[in-house]
Chains A and B, each alone.
Chain A
């Protein structure tokens, strides 16, 4: 049996491919519906090629050899001899499943960066605004301002506008001219021009206003302060205030590497500072019988995730990978690299904050407290600072703030954040919270 963890584009493509080989497939996903962050449809949502997920959903529903376990949080995994046991929680009840092979397609979540007022209601990630719309048919607010960096801001803005939201603007921190640094990636991916044209037309249709080289640096609950920023996000000057009740801010993505980390799959640090898995050209991890596809092997978007999922599915069946598939992956990887080059997230955001601005929202730890753990208590890495200040110790276990805390310590101590530290803060032995009662009842 092959277990596929995650039902986003990579997991679904892997499931469909592996199911065609006749193997018993189980797809385990934390969401109630398949689709992952990107395809979480309830209603039809406007977006480029948004209908292509249907055939994957159909395979999941119709194929006799595919079981879909939804709403299941895997909290731990234990490798055995020639098998791997996954322990998961569904409705508070713990179950486990033992399989021979695993394809991890655990995806990524938006990276959030603090700014003054980001702990206020109304501040969320674009992914959350999209999830509210797609998953629950709820509009995040009356007047939505979208900020951050990267092409993902466009489908979010268009999706929200098409559903009737008042999108008061898109504030993109970088210039589209930065794509000119990656001519080979553009030449290899002419199909992406169609996608871009699609969104340009939609932006015109909904009269969306885009600003470049600017960012939201503060929010007071009623209006957002917008500043012109340099390449590393340092504020150059405040340019305007925009009235809005929602700020959807997204600064790239953080892959979810927890489960693969528990299983001992080798991790590396990508160009953009994210921790990802090292895989070979069959999407095989460093551990036997574990394949990894999608964002957890490098942020690259749904198109690349679909190809990687297919390759992982084929390889798990013991089949070869065609040159065509390899080329498709290659060119999309080139494109992914160009994305990283075009939309970097520098450390200039640290200057947006005041000393009392919260960096860790769960434990309410401010920038000032983190800085004084360095100057007064001699913390010179994130782990030590966290032990002193409790930053990253709350409900989210640092999934949101760990990287930001590390970057702050790096700037304060004038030391580069080491790969070892990045890998340390990206991993945790408990992949999801579990009640002590469930743990007790699970004793063999």
Chain B
């Protein structure tokens, strides 16, 4: 494609959704990626589409809209990526007052919640440890297979006139008078007045190539994958510490339990969070800790075999909010990155915000809180 209307950098879920949204708005879109489809953080995720782990505020508004857009997008793309509203069950390990207060405030902002007593909790999750007695059901929480989703969405973009170039590394940008003119890559130059940086954890490096600044850092996570097992787990089940850890800025290791089954029968166990750069060294102590937390929620998992562990790097911004909007200095340079562990869930909503902003349309919410300019202002 010689002169696309817009170039999207990154073939992960955020880039894929942005490309689809722009294509549906009538633009000719070129997607480039230095690797392959879903070869970054998208390919290392569980496919979380969650509203339960968000405090009331702009991110929750985005998450709620985004969740609905996921189901609309499935209709639009007309193909399966294992999207399922399986619901989330958050379990209080000890004192449930914090969890109940959070659920209360979330329910005032459009989140459907159901407080669970011991009987109802064990009805929903019969294999939970018998001593656990309190939790909250979030029926809106959903899941998809994120790699398949990215691939299917990009396939729709291509079918509608877009193009994908893989193994194309961005080397620099052509700028003129502070405005975007195009991208210089290892596979050639592409001209376009609009470029969207959806490079996830590596979005900061891309921004730097345009002499801009985007504070995105990696936050490492491990996920354990077991052998296929009978269905022991019926929802996405996590302990209430998870919400605290997601919002934490601590650099040290944090682990909280997230356990869920998949369609293939394997069980996924997370989630650890560490800020130690792009270090992919295996840490077996983290593996043990995650296993121990999972077996303490579900004792039946003690006999299930661990087959594999994978790690990924969540794109993390200092205030835990994604960076969605135009660059602080370069006109026509847009960012949609820094979604941390919520990128799958927030991708379609972020794509809608970006498309609306590029076309100068009104959006479903005020995107100001996500503006990348918030850090430029801090710098000044």
Contacts and interface: CB of A to CB of B under 8 A. Distances in A.
Contacts of B294: 436
Interface string A39-65: 000000000000000000000000000
Interface stretch (B50-58, B189-197, B281-289, B312-320): B281-289
Contacts of A383: 36, 39, 43
A78 B285 CA distance: 10
B264 interface: yes
Contact of B307 (A262, A433, A444): A433
Contacts of A436: 224, 226, 269, 291, 294-295, 301-306
A383 B38 CA distance: 10
A416 B226 CA distance: 32
A271 interface: no
B292 interface: yes
A32 interface: no
A380 B295 contact: no
Q: Pick from A380, A384, A394 the residue with the most CB of B within 10 Å.
A: A384
Q: Pick from B154, B287, B309 the residue with the most CB of A within 10 Å.
A: B287
Given A379-B37, A436-B302, A397 B292 contact: no
B307 A442 contact: no
B84 interface: no
A191 to B, nearest CB: 44
Contact of A397 (B36, B43, B224, B307): B307
Interface string B218-238: 000000101110000000000
A437 B302 contact: yes
B152 interface: yes
A433 B302 contact: no
Interface in A392-435: 393-395, 397, 428-430, 433-435
A443 B307 contact: no
B147 interface: yes
A269 B291 CA distance: 35
A109 B307 CA distance: 19
A443 B289 contact: yes
A394 B228 CA distance: 8
B73 interface: no
Given A429-B282, A435-B306, A440 B155 contact: no
Contacts of A76: 282, 284
Nearest to A390: B264
Interface string A256-279: 000000100000000000000000
B308 A440 contact: no
Given A378-B166, A436-B295, A440-B288, A429 B309 contact: yes
A387 interface: yes
Contacts of B308: 393, 397, 428-430
A78 B269 CA distance: 22
A440 B298 CA distance: 12
Contacts of A212: none
B369 interface: no
B164 interface: yes
B27 to A, nearest CB: 20
A295 interface: no
Contacts of A395: 227, 307
Contact of B227 (A381, A429, A433): A433
Contacts of A439: 287-288, 291-292, 306
Interface in A356-387: 363, 376-381, 383-384, 387
Contact of B292 (A393, A394, A429, A440): A440
A363 B148 contact: no
B330 interface: no
B38 A387 contact: yes
Nearest to A387: B147
A258 to B, nearest CB: 12
A437 B301 CA distance: 7
A87 interface: yes
A275 B266 CA distance: 28
A388 interface: yes
Contacts of A442: 288
Contacts of B164: 378
B178 to A, nearest CB: 35
Interface in B265-285: 266, 269, 282, 284-285
B357 interface: no
Nearest to B287: A439
Contacts of B100: none
Contact of B36 (A381, A390, A434, A444): A381
B303 A384 contact: no
A388 B166 CA distance: 17
Q: Pick from A363, A377, A379, A390 the residue with the most CB of B within 10 Å.
A: A377
Contact of A78 (B227, B284, B291, B305): B284
Interface string A172-199: 0000000000000000000000000000
B157 to A, nearest CB: 11
B151 interface: yes
Interface in A256-308: 262
A92 to B, nearest CB: 9
Contacts of A387: 38, 43, 147
Nearest to A433: B305
Contacts of B154: 378
29 contacts: A76-B282, A87-B284, A378-B36, A378-B37, A378-B155, A378-B158, A378-B164, A379-B151, A384-B38, A384-B39, A384-B43, A387-B38, A388-B148, A397-B308, A433-B305, A434-B306, A435-B304, A435-B305, A435-B306, A436-B224, A436-B291, A436-B295, A436-B306, A437-B301, A437-B302, A439-B287, A439-B291, A440-B288, A443-B285
Interface of B: 36-39, 43, 147-148, 151-152, 154-155, 158, 164, 166-167, 224, 226-228, 264, 266, 269, 282, 284-285, 287-289, 291-292, 294-296, 301-309
Given A430-B308, A435-B304, A442-B288, 4 more contacts: A376-B155, A379-B36, A380-B166, A434-B306
Lowest 10 CB-CB distances: which A-B pairs, in order?
A437-B302, A439-B291, A377-B151, A433-B305, A440-B292, A387-B147, A436-B291, A384-B36, A429-B282, A440-B295
